[in-house]
Chains A and B, each alone.
Chain A
């Protein structure tokens, strides 16, 4: 048996190691935020500048559009697309997850596997035909053209999380309702929905995260009406020198909402990541 002294030292060392990693991992975020409040020209100095007069000018520039395009509308587009695709994925996913969790039907096993396997489809490959089709049908730069693909990207994970979540609900409750003559739809909406709420929250967060940060499809399928924030941020880089102040301010603006959301709902995130593994 290891002595308690050794155990305590080990525990202490592991705490040190852990926090070293955590603090180092925060460095890039620190860089981002400090650069966003440094006056113009101080982003790239040797040695790095730590004494400076903080300014919020970059944030003003970004939101008002003095930089390139006004960022405010882009954030709104991102919100619409994220919420829309999440809602779609959750609705479609809930029905599918319920069927996979509770019902028996032919081909179910294969279907479940196939749904999971669609995660592997590289967006770079999928974007080409989607773009061509959307172009021909004049569907470029519409919300739906992003909402549907994003929902598709999220469905496998959503279905998986929701299925596990539904399985955690004791079947007796539903059986009792069935005996009482409730239809499946009523069961789903009255019983399953409230009880699976934590799982739905988790699936929702993961879905929002992906939709909020997606770049390739947004770049290819939008012009200006629906352009999302990640596309907007790429406009700060260019031939004649990257505007680091504006770029890091925009980056902070993009990252802040999801960070806050992730922090507030961290328990759900963590639960959701593991629900699939536990019986």
Chain B
């Protein structure tokens, strides 16, 4: 920052206001409305009858075992999906880093899954994992890896596998490309110096390369985590929250309550609770991830 630059409060705020305005409209305003609704028994079909019921909606969701389960399941999904995407993405990035025509082609093809409309990809997944006609069962049995056909969407463990594999298919390239760019941007000198000192293989990577990669890992993890918490359409199409309620992430519950049952009050309390949770989580994540990188600077 040049010492000659003065404070430009007026201009600064003038330039950001339109953007901020739009963002407020889509975040603070809905949040305030939901806050108001969450203290009422409010069904959209009978909008004039919305009595104030204090914390009853919140008490209901706190004592509802299904909702606690749903929240837990959401967190586990995010942790598992992002974790796997990070690990696989790193591996892919290491393989993609060396510049070559073949790698450029591979990187290009890897963009494709990210471009597919999520609802579409979920439908395709359902067909691929269909126990009777799906390619997964058929070809795995042909190869001999699988003997009894697995009814993927019929039990919780395999359902989760299907859900997570879809997310991994679609978003690992996202992580991989970010990390690949990071790897390609790392100057060779530190590694060469360390190699001369006798470091090699795993130690070379962990002690020298990885620290330089941290900012990229931070971004990838942050963005992927935030997006993963917003997952909705894919799981809705793929499992509908089933079998039972084993894959019912919190967004599905909110959607059903708000836009199918139209119990806006109840849905609002869920939404606010979720927002509070995210508002606590995100700054913590930012703090940890930003420790060695300038994610946001003045």
Contact = CB atoms under 8 A, between A and B. Distances in A.
- Does A touch B (CB under 8 Å) in the complex? yes
Contacts of B200: 1-2
A31 B124 contact: yes
B133 A44 contact: yes
Given A95-B15, A109-B298, A273-B178, A128 B20 contact: no
24 contacts: A22-B106, A22-B109, A26-B112, A28-B128, A32-B124, A46-B133, A92-B22, A99-B15, A104-B5, A111-B16, A115-B23, A117-B283, A122-B230, A123-B230, A125-B30, A128-B267, A128-B268, A148-B25, A156-B23, A209-B114, A209-B115, A233-B117, A263-B111, A271-B181
A173 interface: no
Contacts of A149: 26
A278 B162 CA distance: 35
Contacts of B178: 273-274, 277
A31 B128 contact: yes
Interface stretch (A13-21, A59-67, A69-77, A195-203): A13-21
B11 interface: yes
Contact of A104 (B1, B108, B215, B258): B1
Nearest to B298: A109
Top 6 A-B residue pairs of the complex, sorted by shortest distance between their CB atoms: A105-B12, A152-B26, A99-B15, A125-B271, A96-B19, A129-B33
Interface residues of A, number: 104
Given A251-B117, A278-B215, A121 B16 contact: no
A171 interface: yes
Interface string B199-230: 01100000000000001101100010011011
Interface in B62-119: 91-92, 94-96, 98, 102-103, 106-119
Interface centre among B7, B116, B185 (most CB of A within 10 A): B116
A103 interface: yes
A84 to B, nearest CB: 13
A4 to B, nearest CB: 13
A5 interface: no
A29 B116 contact: yes
Interface in B99-148: 102-103, 106-121, 123-125, 127-128, 130, 132-133, 135, 138
Contacts of B215: 277-278
Interface string A191-234: 00000000000000000010011011000100000000110011
A220 B259 contact: yes
Contacts of A119: 223, 226-227
Contacts of A109: 296, 298
A81 B24 CA distance: 21
Contacts of B153: none
Contacts of B1: 104
A190 interface: no
